[in-house]
Structures are given as structure tokens and as C-alpha cells.
Amino acid sequence: MGRKKIEIRTIENDRQKTVTFARRRAGLIKKAHEISVLCGVKVAVVIFDQREACHVYSSTDNPD
């Protein structure tokens, strides 16, 4: 039995939005790392949060 689909909508509560962003960002970076290791590919992820702060992940020390 699969997971129940959730409705995708903007989170109004700022605290909950911050917590959700942190968790989902960590999950996305983990998936990027996994695909890099499993498939031997270079991966880069760039995320801008609501305050325009930049969060970067690269599977290499010096991305091309």
C-alpha cells in the first residue's frame, strides 16, 4: 500500500514553512548525493529561500 497523496499548497504559518523548508531541503540534498554516488555523475543543487539566501550542494569540490 502506497503513501497518501498530499495537497500541494503554500504554507501560511511562517514557523511551519521554515521547518518544512529545512526538512525538504535536507531530503533533496540527500537524494542528490545518492544519485551522484549510485550513478557516478556530477550533481549540483542551488536553492534560494524566501529571504533570497542561497543554499548550494555540489557532488564535487569544484563544480564545472
User: C-alpha angle 35/52/31, rounded to 5°?
Assistant: 10
Which pLDDT value is given to residue 2? 82
Looking at the 3D structure of the chain, how many domains does it have?
1
Per-residue pLDDT of the chain (64 residues; tens, 9 = 90+): 788 998 899 999 999 999 999 999 999 999 999 999 999 999 999 999 989 999 999 998 764 5
Is residue 21 included in any domain, yes or no? Answer: yes
Q: Report the CATH number at residue 24.
A: 3.40.1810.10
Which pLDDT value is given to residue 41? 96
Is residue 46 included in any domain, yes or no? Answer: yes
Which amino acid is it at 26? A
Which amino acid is it at 15? R
Is residue 30 included in any domain, yes or no? Answer: yes
Q: What's the CA gap between 63 and 44, in Å, rounded?
A: 7
Is residue 63 included in any domain, yes or no? Answer: no
Q: Quote the pTM value.
A: 0.78
Alpha-helical segments (H) within the chain: 14-39
Q: Which residues pair with 56 in a beta bridge?
A: 46
Beta-carbon contacts of residue 40 (< 8 Å; ≥ 6 apart): none
